[in-house]
Amino acid sequence: MNNHVTVLEIDGNALEHNLHYFKQKLKPETKILAVVKAFGYGSDGVKVADFLKDKVDYFAVAYASEGIALREANINTPILVLHPQIPTLADIVTYKLEPNLYCFKVFDAFLKLADEESLIDYPIHLKFNTGLNRLGFKHADISKILACLKETNHIKVQSLFSHLAASEDLNERDFTTNQIANFTYVAQEFYKNLSYEPILHVLNTSGVVNYSDAQFNMVRIGIGLYGFGNDAKETSQLKNTHNLTSIISQIHSIEPGETVGYNRAFIATETVKSATIPVGHADGISRRLGNKKGFVLINNQKAPIIGNVCMDMIMVDVTKIECKEGDNVIIFNNQEMIKNIAMLSETIVYETLTAISPRVKKILTK
């Protein structure tokens, strides 16, 4: 039971709004896979999936353990494990998760297991590398895969997919179009040679925005579900899902010449009122936000972080803000604040969100 006062509120209405926003960009028959890896992009994958389970066709997680957590919460929607590890394949079967088999090493290991367990038509997914060069089979592997599939009834190809390297970047349009063409070739080869038609999917969030013609039978939506599109205009159509708040633990009056925090990084030149907040770099607040780069909101006013960000706390300047110990603190509650934090932390929104640690209490509101 997490009773921490620093709380990430996941806005269920916003999740639903964002899902609907992408749905209306797609053909009615296109399936939706919601990506809930990395604790639902730093929130709570189980809570997000439980909320979305009747609204989407599929979930994806990166690793088996994340899928097991969903099953243990009685979520019965199909779950694609994007990056299964060989030692976890048995658990994948036990928990009825669906592995992405992306190379012969994993393919063969799974086939061996499927044989030992006498599985019939166990749903597996095949990923093709079309240019990201991260995971996936290549064209030259197709005939060998097809030959293996002809000889077994232990597994069945539930889907064929690939992942785009630069779907958000229109300067890379040629490269992306080529990836899609490359994937289309793979799909045709399988459709020609199998007696059934696996689901096809290649688009992530920014793919849906920029290349909706390539939606095939399903799309995989991650960051968009959590409120971020490709640009400010798109993002303004989406609702923020991650709201991080805390409370003031203690207020100090700092006299001129006194310092605040580790390494005495903040030196008062006049009397300063500081507030200590129970959130630090171990909770996902980058140290780059220290020394007045980042701020929080207290009673609707900006309170800059003074001194260095500690592991478990930050100190903020509240000299000009009327406030008391126990008052609420907003670390972020809209996309602009999250984007600003990402920029000041010299990273992207994906990292700012997924940095929010499990120590932070998570609640989902509807």
Ligand X SMILES: *Cc1c(COP(=O)(O)O)cnc(C)c1O
The residues that touch ligand X, with contacts defined as CB under 6 A, are 35, 82, 163, 204-206, 220-224
Could you count the other beta carbons within 10 Å of the beta carbon of residue 62? 16
Q: How far is the CB of 220 from ligand X (least distance, A)?
A: 4
Start-end of H helices in the chain: 12-23, 37-42, 45-52, 64-72, 89-94, 104-116, 142-150, 173-193, 205-210, 232-237, 335-344, 349-354
The catalytic position among 185, 191, 196, 262 is 262
Query: Could you confirm whether 366 is annotated as catalytic?
Result: no
Beta bridge partners of residue 61, listed in sequence order: 81
Exposed / middle / buried, residue 257 (Cβ in 10 Å: 0-12, 13-18, 19+) = exposed
Q: How far, in Å, CA of 180 to CA of 131, rounded?
A: 10
Q: What share of the chain is helix, strand, coil (3-state, %, to 5)?
A: 35, 25, 40
With respect to ligand X, which residue has the nearer C-beta, 212 or 249?
A: 212
Q: How far is the CB of 202 from ligand X (least distance, A)?
A: 9
Determine if residue 315 is labeled as part of a ligand binding site.
no
Q: How far is the CB of 30 from ligand X (least distance, A)?
A: 15
Closest CA to 186 of 131, 104, 134, 106: 131
Q: How far is the CB of 206 from ligand X (least distance, A)?
A: 6
With respect to ligand X, which residue has the nearer C-beta, 41 or 51?
A: 41
Determine if residue 134 is labeled as part of a ligand binding site.
yes
Closest CA to 88 of 70, 125, 71, 113: 113
With respect to ligand X, which residue has the nearer C-beta, 129 or 274?
A: 129
Handedness of CA 274, 266, 333, 321 (dihedral sign): positive
Could you count the other beta carbons within 10 Å of the beta carbon of residue 363? 13
Query: Could you confirm whether 262 is annotated as catalytic?
Result: yes
Token pair, residue 154, equals: 């232990």
Q: How far is the CB of 169 from ligand X (least distance, A)?
A: 12
Instruction: List, by residue number, the catalytic residues.
Output: 37, 262
Task: Give the residue ranges of the annotated binding site for substrate.
Answer: 134, 311
Give the annotated binding-site residues.
Answer: 134, 311
